[in-house]
């Protein structure tokens, strides 16, 4: 089989890239190792930047998001038992959209089905060949048979543990990584949110986050030791711990209920450079990971494929001279935005979590920085500008 672009991975980056390429009239195929149900079952991101919202609109999949998503003009920082509002809209003129990754994925999947686009689910043993030459190929197994796709380009949208980055020769890629000494225990429950906006709490027992998926469904997190297993955490233990990290008036208002999902995620900062190797590109979590504190992972996946789809559209549709400019500059343009989001996510993680190894001095530094932040419009503006997302550049 032959196609113009072979995409590996049907997470948000692969699906959005597919929708944007389709819009530009570029033929492509997506290969996904899992089933659609498995992909939809992963509970992850919840906050979209305007840049991601714009790209979903451009791809023609924004309709349900605008109907069901919750635009938020701000969020609260909580420390010393008090909440302080960061007014994103007043500080930047922008807002964010609370709409779950599951819903984004579902909208993109429905769009593929309606447009008759080709996705191969349960594609096993995907392997990449000859991407350093002019005729790259992807091989995979399905129902016991081996298949081969010839493409002009391959895009690895296959997440942190995918095959695309692992196929690049070690000497051609440089990895930068920081692992944090804790994880996030997350719970999804069908109860009304404790507050109409998100609350990020710095407490001496550890970080907590009150987020939501709708007016009737919450997503709450607490910082936990890396060694903890999710089976150790009963629902009651989770609610108790969350309540200990919030001010009494929020605890009094908090509605609890049975969890419908519970999982522990490790926190990591990671970047692989560059993001292009001949005719192979990397996008989304395949190339970079941020700790979830800054709500940037899904948004970076969207901006990567936004930049790449423009480069590919220029390659296939542009005038003969200079038509490779967009794909040549992809890695450098994407990385410039990625490193700024890495910095923000690392900074916000460092500000909000308990780091026992940093001792009492580290704690005092956090307290001083939080106090400065909520009393300085300049500092709040810098934070808000990063939270709502930097421009595509
Ligand atoms: P994904 O979602 O990991 O999808 C990759 C897909 O590739 C498939 N795959 C393969 N397919 C074929 N062959 C192979 N060899 C393959 N190997 C893997 C996988 O099955 C999968 O379907 O990467 P993608 O598309 O780049 O999307 C990235 C986002 O999922 C991720 O950045 C966000 O979820 C991060 N994130 C958040 N991002 C935000 O922007 N805002 C948030 O509020 C936010 N909250 C979060 C988060 C991530 C979290 N966890 C669990 C890591 C909260 C949490 C708790
Ligand atoms: C979420 O709703 O899952 C969420 C929201 C904000 C974050 C991280 C996760 O910073």
C-alpha span between 56 and 193 (Å, rounded): 26
Contact 186 CB / ligand 1 (< 6 Å): yes
What pLDDT is attached to residue 392?
A: 84
C-alpha span between 131 and 83 (Å, rounded): 52
What pLDDT is attached to residue 318?
A: 64
List the structure tokens of 21: 């390429």
Contact 12 CB / ligand 1 (< 6 Å): yes
pLDDT digits (tens, 9 = 90+) for 2-34: 999 999 999 999 999 999 999 999 999 999 999
70-72 β-sheet, strand order = 47-48, 96-98, 70-72
199-201 β-sheet, strand order = 82-86, 75-79, 199-201, 208-214, 217-224, 174-189, 259-273, 288-289
Does residue 132 sit in helix, strand or coil?
coil
CATH number at residue 348: 3.50.50.60
C-alpha span between 304 and 27 (Å, rounded): 19
Which ligand 2 atom sits nearest the alpha carbon of residue 44?
Answer: 3
The rounded Å distance from CA 159 to ligand 1 centre is 6
The rounded Å distance from CA 315 to ligand 2 centre is 36
Contact 104 CB / ligand 1 (< 6 Å): no
- Count of structural domains within the chain: 1
C-alpha gyration radius of the chain = 21
Which ligand 1 atom sits nearest the alpha carbon of residue 184?
Answer: 55
Distance of CA 87 to the CA centre of its chain: 23
CA atoms within 13 A on the CB side of 88: 21
260, 188 contact by CB (below 8 A) = yes
Instruction: Write down the pTM of the prediction.
Output: 0.96
Residue 171 domain-assigned? yes
Residue 281 domain-assigned? yes
Contact 298 CB / ligand 1 (< 6 Å): yes
What residue's CA is closest to ligand 1, atom 30? 298
What residue's CA is closest to ligand 2, atom 6? 295
Residue 313 domain-assigned? yes
Residue 167 domain-assigned? yes
The rounded Å distance from CA 78 to ligand 1 centre is 28
Contact 123 CB / ligand 1 (< 6 Å): yes
What pLDDT is attached to residue 43?
A: 84
Pocket residue to mutate for ligand 2, from 74, 214, 221, most atoms within 8 A of Cβ: 221
What pLDDT is attached to residue 382?
A: 98
The rounded Å distance from CA 323 to ligand 2 centre is 38
What residue's CA is closest to ligand 1, atom 55? 44
137, 129 contact by CB (below 8 A) = yes
List the structure tokens of 3: 């196609």
What residue's CA is closest to ligand 2, atom 4? 46
The rounded Å distance from CA 49 to ligand 2 centre is 12
Residue 138 domain-assigned? yes
Q: Which ligand is nearest to the CA of 213?
A: 2
Contact 299 CB / ligand 1 (< 6 Å): yes
Ligand 2 residue neighbourhood (C-beta within 6 Å): 45-47, 198, 209, 211, 219, 292-293, 295
Q: Which ligand is nearest to the CA of 156?
A: 1
What pLDDT is attached to residue 393?
A: 72
Burial class (CB in 10 A: 0-12, 13-18, 19+), 116: exposed
CB atoms within 10 A of CB 158: 27
H or E element at residue 383: helix 377-388
Residue 150 domain-assigned? yes
Q: Which residues contact 226 (CB under 8 A, 6 or more apart)?
A: 181, 182, 183, 266
Q: Which residues contact 147 (CB under 8 A, 6 or more apart)?
A: 1, 139, 140, 141
Contact 31 CB / ligand 1 (< 6 Å): yes
223, 208 contact by CB (below 8 A) = yes
C-alpha span between 216 and 209 (Å, rounded): 17
The stretches in the chain having pLDDT less than 70 are 318-322
Q: Which ligand is nearest to the CA of 36?
A: 1
Full residue range of the structural domain in which residue 54 is found: 5-70+100-177+268-354
The rounded Å distance from CA 213 to ligand 1 centre is 17
C-alpha span between 124 and 109 (Å, rounded): 20
Residue 87 domain-assigned? no
Distances (CA, A) of 184 to 33, 177, 187: 26, 18, 10
Peptide bond into 274 cis (omega under 30): yes
Q: Hey, which residues does 33 pair with through a beta bridge?
A: none
Where do we find the tokens 């607490």?
222
Residues carrying an active site annotation: 72, 200, 292, 296, 387
CB atoms within 10 A of CB 109: 18
Q: Hey, which residues does 77 pair with through a beta bridge?
A: 84, 200
CB atoms within 10 A of CB 225: 12
Residue 250 domain-assigned? no
The rounded Å distance from CA 45 to ligand 2 centre is 6
């Amino acid at each position: 089989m032959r196609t113009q672009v072979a995409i590996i991975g049907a997470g948000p980056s692969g699906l959005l890239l597919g929708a944007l390429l389709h819009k530009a009239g570029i033929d492509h195929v997506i290969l996904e190792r899992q089933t659609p149900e498995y992909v939809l079952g992963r509970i992850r991101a919840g906050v979209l930047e305007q840049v991601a919202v714009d790209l979903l609109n451009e791809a023609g999949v924004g309709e349900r998001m605008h109907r069901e998503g919750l635009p938020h003009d701000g969020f609260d920082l909580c420390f010393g038992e008090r909440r302080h509002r960061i007014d994103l809209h007043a500080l930047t003129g922008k807002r964010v959209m609370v709409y779950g990754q599951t819903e984004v994925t579902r909208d993109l999947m429905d769009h593929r089905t309606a447009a008759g686009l080709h996705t191969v689910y349960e594609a096993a043993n995907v392997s990449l060949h000859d991407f350093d030459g002019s005729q790259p190929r992807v091989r995979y197994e399905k129902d016991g048979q081996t298949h081969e796709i010839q493409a002009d380009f391959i895009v690895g949208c296959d997440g942190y543990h995918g095959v695309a980055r692992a196929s690049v020769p070690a000497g051609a890629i440089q990895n930068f990584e920081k692992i944090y000494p804790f994880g996030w225990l997350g719970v999804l429950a069908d109860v009304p949110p404790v507050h109409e906006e998100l609350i990020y709490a710095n407490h001496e027992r550890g970080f907590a986050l009150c987020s939501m998926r709708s007016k009737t469904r919450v997503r709450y997190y607490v910082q936990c030791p890396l060694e903890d297993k999710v089976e150790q955490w009963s629902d009651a233990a989770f609610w108790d711990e969350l309540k200990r990290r919030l001010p009494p008036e929020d605890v009094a208002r908090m509605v609890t209920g049975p969890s419908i999902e519970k999982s522990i995620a490790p926190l990591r900062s990671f970047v692989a450079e560059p993001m292009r190797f001949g005719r192979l590109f990397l996008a989304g979590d395949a190339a970079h990971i941020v700790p979830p504190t800054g709500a940037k992972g899904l948004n970076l996946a969207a901006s990567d494929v936004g930049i790449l789809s423009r480069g590919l559209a220029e390659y296939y549709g542009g005038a003969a001279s200079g038509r490779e400019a967009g794909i040549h500059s992809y890695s450098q343009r994407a990385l410039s935005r990625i490193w700024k989001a890495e910095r923000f996510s690392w900074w916000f993680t460092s500000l909000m979590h308990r780091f026992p190894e940093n001792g009492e001095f580290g704690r005092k530094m956090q307290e001083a920085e939080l106090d400065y932040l909520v009393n300085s419009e300049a500092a709040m503006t810098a934070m808000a500008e990063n939270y709502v997302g930097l421009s595509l550049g």
